[in-house]
Structures are given as C-alpha cells and as structure tokens.
Amino acid sequence: MPAADGSQIVLANPERWVNEYGDYLYRYAWSRLRDENAADEVVQETFLAGIRFQDRFKGEGVERAWLLGILKRKLIDHIRMRNRYDRDGSYADTNDPSVQLFDQKGNWRAESFAAGTPDGQLESKEIWDVVRNCLQHIPKGQADVFLLSVMEEMDSDQICRELDISPSNLWVRLHRARLALAKCVGARWFQDEGVAQHA
C-alpha cells in the first residue's frame, strides 16, 4: 500500500506471528514470569492486542520489536493484577547478606561473582539463572518489584504507578527482595562452587 509520500507502507501480518515470533515472545515472557500458564496468557494477549491495533503498526520498525513492546506492556499489566491479589510483601530477616549482590544505592551487581575471571561472561549468565530460580521462592510482591526495577529497568516512579504502591512500600519490597535474593543466591551459588571445587 503506497503512503502519501509515495513510499510503501508495510502492514502487520498476524497470520505468521505465531510461527515467526511465538517462541521468542514466550521465552521472553517465561524468563520474566517463570510460570508457563502466565507466559502463555500474556503472549496470547499480545497477539490479540496486535491484531486489534495492527493499524497502528506503520512499518517504520521491525514487527518483532513492535510485538515485544506490546508484550512488555502485557507483562506489566499481568504483574500489576497479580500484585493486587497478592499484597503480602513480607519476608523477615535480621541479617543483611545483600552487600555481595547490591551496591550501597541498591543497584544489582551480579558481576561481583564473575569479576576478573576468564569465564566471567559464562558465570554472569549462570548467576542470572540462579537469580531467576530464586525469584520463584520469594513472595510475588517482592519478586515483581525486583523484576520491574532490575530486569525491566523501570524507574521507581513508574513502578509505583504501575503497581499502585507508595514509594516507601516499593523501597520495603525491594529491600526485602534483595535480602531474600542475596540469601538464596549466595547459598545456591557458593554451594554449587563448593561442589565444583570438590568434584
């Protein structure tokens, strides 16, 4: 279809989305949610929204990136809804083992596990695998704010708006998530390291 300036407009093609982008979108959703049913649901919602709003795809970018943008919005919506039904962001811990995983400002520093080694990049991937696994074992409210803050790199104001929580509640959840993750990741990472050294 020609545009007003004579260039060709590329329309979205929903008939091939599932085959071309389904696996990619599912893997992305699953890596964030760690729940097969939830990942399926948000990918289906992404395709439905894409079909509903396909006239908004102007062909100016890559179709996969456009669908990924929709998927990210659906992930946030899913986390927001999950958060409304699970407001128990509680986790008690008296120690603060998070200093290994987070800097003084609370920023994630997974590179501390892999720094200075030739296999640093591999170890960094392995630490993220451990983190993703540990996220399944902490309360959803804490996992959600960590996921949005660290993995999706959303700022605090945006997270508060999306989840309808106060900045102080966000801070508490992030702090508790960091404590829980530091404890879980530290235990699993160093346990695996110890097994590797004695093998």
In CATH, what number is assigned to the domain containing residue 186? 1.10.10.10
**Confidence (pLDDT) at 19:** 87
3-class DSSP state of 90: coil
For residue 109, is it within any domain?
yes
Interhelix angle for 156-163 vs 63-85, to 10°?
60
The DSSP 8-state label assigned to residue 54 in this structure reads G
pLDDT computed for residue 107 by the predictor: 59
Count CA within 13 A, CB hemisphere, residue 171: 4
What domain range includes position 184? 97-198
* pTM higher than the cut 0.85: no
Does 101 lie in the same domain as 194? Answer: yes
End-of-domain residue from the set 55, 85, 115: 85
109-163 pLDDT tens trace: 555 544 444 445 555 677 778 888 888 889 988 899 988 988 888 998 999 999 9
Which stretches of 103-166 are DSSP H helices? 111-114, 120-135, 140-146, 156-163
Give residue 132's pLDDT: 84
Same domain for 34 and 76, yes or no, is yes
